[in-house]
Structure 1
Amino acid sequence: MSGKIITVAQQKGGSGKTTLAAHLAVALAQHSVPGGKVRVALLDCDPQGSLGEWFEARETTLGEDGTGLTFRTASGWGARREARSLVRDYSFVVIDTPPKSDVESRPAIEAAHLVAVPVQPTPIDLWATQPTLDMIAKEGTASLLVINRAQSRAALTQEIGAAIMALGHPAAQTRLGNRVGYAASMGKGLTLLETVPGSKGAHEVEALAAEFRRSLGD
């Protein structure tokens, strides 16, 4: 396999998985490399289909030939097969998984080179993350925790951030802020990188994508 598979997983709902998957995919696709473009595919394994709805809105906004991404769906063990097929032709495959279902998420985690685990800086989210980390550890897959919707000046964010580090799993240095622009851009099938390029939020996403590339040895 020539490319890399990034699976976004978190059993707690409302963690921002789909938003993270979309923004990572676009950031990776925008990264320039010598000799050609970075090809990125999105694989939606969540029956709710939020990523698919985002991609349809993206096609409406940018045109079917202007999305800059390839989109596929799969479920259960089919996700592993589809991801391994896609990664032969793409630099990155980003997988969005469903919450509350280790049966549906496990094949996507098993296929991944790296699992992104979004965590909001609250005690409930921290407690709810442990089963996901246990499942990742059982599969022997590398992971990177991503602190999401962080309030930069909130003491709780710093406290929970330290607790996340203490979980013993690598955490991204870049934290994604709690910005209304994420929801606004997603509603148009876009990302902050496209609606407000050059903004602090866009820079955060770019920095996070760079961390993932480094973690994958890219």
Structure 2
Amino acid sequence: MSGKIITIAQQKGGSGKTTLAAHLAVAFSQQLVPGVEMRVALLDCDPQGSLGEWFEAREATLGEEGTGLSFRTASGWGARREARSLVRDYSFVVIDTPPKSDVESRPAIEVADLVVVPVQPTPIDLWATRPTLEMIAKEGTSCLLVINRAQSRAALTQEMGTAIEALGHAAARARLGNRVGFAASMGRGLTLLETEPGSKGAAEIGALAAELRGYLGT
């Protein structure tokens, strides 16, 4: 299986990019493929460094040899170069990008096999997603919208889901609920897959990771 690069991008801050990047990386590392050693690398291109802090907490919790992941940082055009280098040796490279900066995000979008765009189901988030989608379209990269922090019983969620799909970009069938456990697990350098493996949230992430793999043909 050839390696794949997945970039998490959203110019609007607070969309849950870093949490999604960490959870997807762990989910990929846990999903077994017969005859394949699933190796996953994280690439942090956000100067804020939240993903790096999470990974350091992960090392403190699990030990340097127990993280199950590799971690690198890069910025600007260096992200493209680093991602291409990593994907030679890893099954998946998951890239976290900064908000509000198309200059910093563009190389990571250009190099991706798939760009995942998390969107909270509110009108403001929907409007704020358009510049990100326009930037992705200019690079000609495939993208998939993921509804994040959804209230399962809220009418607005269904309404916004329909509106998001109307943007003309593919939307993932799997949606992530508004669950405290996602953020709470990050403080220990872990994910919901590890702190609450039998939970609905863990099942949602697992379903999304499996859907992304199917989308990429892996």
TM over 0.5: yes
Deviation, 1:34, is 1.2
Map residues 157-196 of structure 1 onto 2, 5 A cutoff.
157-196=157-196
Equivalent residue for 1:89? 89
Aligned to 1:20: 20
Residues 36-84 of structure 1: per-residue CA shift (max 9 Å, x gap) = 4300000000000000000000000000000000000000000000000
**1:120 Cα deviation (Å)?**
0.2
**What is the letter of the counterpart of residue 4 of structure 1?**
K
What is the CA–CA distance in structure 2 between the aligned matches of 1:185 and 1:111, rounded to whole Å?
Answer: 30
Alpha-carbon distance in 2 for matches of 1:66, 1:171: 34
> Which consecutive aligned stretches of 4+ in structure 1 deviate over 6 angstroms post-superposition?
none
Question: Within 5 Å, which residues of 2 pair with 1:146-157?
Answer: 146-157=146-157
Identity rate, percent: 84
AA partner of residue 120 (structure 2): Q
Matches of 2:129 and 2:205, distance apart in 1? 22
Distance 2:46 2:182 in 1: 20
Measure the CA separation in 2 of the matches of 1:83 and 1:91. 12
Q: How does 1:30-179 map to 2 (within 5 A)?
A: 30-179=30-179
Instruction: Tell me, yes or no, if the aligned pair for 1:2 and 1:89 is still in contact at 8 Å.
Output: no
Structure 1 residue 33 displacement after superposition? 1.1
Tell me the CA shift for residue 4 of structure 1: 0.2
Q: State TM-score, norm by structure 1.
A: 0.99
- 1:185-213 per-residue CA deviation (whole Å, 9 max, x = no partner) reads 00000000000001110000000000100
Separation of aligned partners in 1, 2:89 and 2:53 = 24
Distance in structure 1 (CA, Å) of the matches to 2:158 and 2:2: 38
The alignment partner of 2:118 has SS state of: strand
**Structure 2: where are the runs of 5+ without partners?**
none
Q: Deviations over 1:140-195 (max 9, x none)?
A: 00000000000000011111111001000000001100000011100000000000
Describe the SS at the equivalent of 1:54.
helix
Q: Residues of 1 paired with 2:36 and 2:87: CA distance?
A: 17
RMSD value, Cα: 0.8
* CA displacement at 1:35 relative to structure 2: 1.8
Question: In structure 2, how many angstroms separate the alpha carbons of the residues matched to 1:110 and 1:97?
Answer: 12
Runs of 5+ unmatched residues, structure 1: none
- With normalisation by structure 2, the TM-score equals 0.99
Deviating more after overlay: 31-40 vs 83-92: 31-40
* Alignment-mate amino acid for residue 104 of structure 2: E
Q: For the residues of structure 2 that align with 1:196 and 1:68, how far apart are their CA atoms?
A: 18
CA contact (8 A) 1:56 1:189 kept: yes
